[in-house]
Amino acid sequence: MKLNEIYRQIARQSGIEGVFTFSNSIPGCFKGAFAEIVRLRASEDSPLPMFEDEMLPLIGNVNVSVDLSNGIGDYLLTGIDRLAYVYGVSTADNRFIPFKYVSSLELNDMMNNEYTRPSVNEGYWAKNGSRIRIANGSDKSPIYIQILVVKNPDVSKWNDEYDFSGYGFGFIQAVINRAIDKLQNVAARRGVYGNDPKRNQT
């Protein structure tokens, strides 16, 4: 589906009277909705994207080395282009170790207790501001990890003919529905509603 088709669908489904008088607001509503849906997680305690398999153009990975000191190290994320958020970490060498996501507090408590420190075959990661912290029982430093990321779209390429066919239907439909809500809110602030007579009563 191309961007101009998405804009028309948002307008048609909004139910707003004289919707095309709000055409200048549709791109902003779509961009805002897109950003919100991209950031939805699979669950409250999970870093995984809700629509991971339906937003593949934004899914990427970055291979980096991290110096460990007493089994813990961190990596500054500011150098990753168009980063939205990190959703996973694993090893990038021939030892596959999935790193489990924990809170910063949990990671600190784990590393402060010799009985809960990770072994060489397990790892943990936490978000700490603009950095991620990782813990692993390896006696080698640096270790090589793969950071799994969701990137923000390059909206500079979003012209009317931009094709969103690389995204899943469920993801795009969720963005459209959220954009419709936003457009209806814009119209309501200007005193214009949809075709529901009850809503139009004053």
Percent of the chain beyond pLDDT 90? Answer: 79
* 3-class secondary structure, 104: helix
Confidence of residue 201 (pLDDT cuts 50, 70, 90): very low
Confidence of residue 85 (pLDDT cuts 50, 70, 90): very high
Model pLDDT for residues 126-147, shown as the tens digit of each residue: 999 999 999 998 888 899 999 9
Which residues, including other chains, have CB under 8 Å from residue 17's CB and lie 6 or more apart?
A: 192, 193, 194, 195
Judging by beta carbons within 10 Å of its beta carbon (0-12, 13-18, 19+), is residue 124 exposed, middle or buried? buried
Residue 202 has pLDDT above 90, yes or no: no
> Which of 85, 65, 69, 75 shows the shortest CA–CA distance to 152?
85
What's the whole-model pTM score? Answer: 0.87
Mean pLDDT calculated for residue range 164-172:
97
Give me the residues paired with residue 10 across strands.
none
> Which pLDDT does position 98 carry in this prediction?
81
Can you read off the two tokens belonging to residue 51?
């629509």
Model pLDDT for residues 18-77, shown as the tens digit of each residue: 898 999 999 999 999 999 999 999 998 899 999 999 999 999 999 999 999 999 999 999
Residue 83 has pLDDT above 90, yes or no: yes
> Which pLDDT does position 163 carry in this prediction?
97
Residue 196 has pLDDT above 70, yes or no: no
Judging by beta carbons within 10 Å of its beta carbon (0-12, 13-18, 19+), is residue 127 exposed, middle or buried? middle
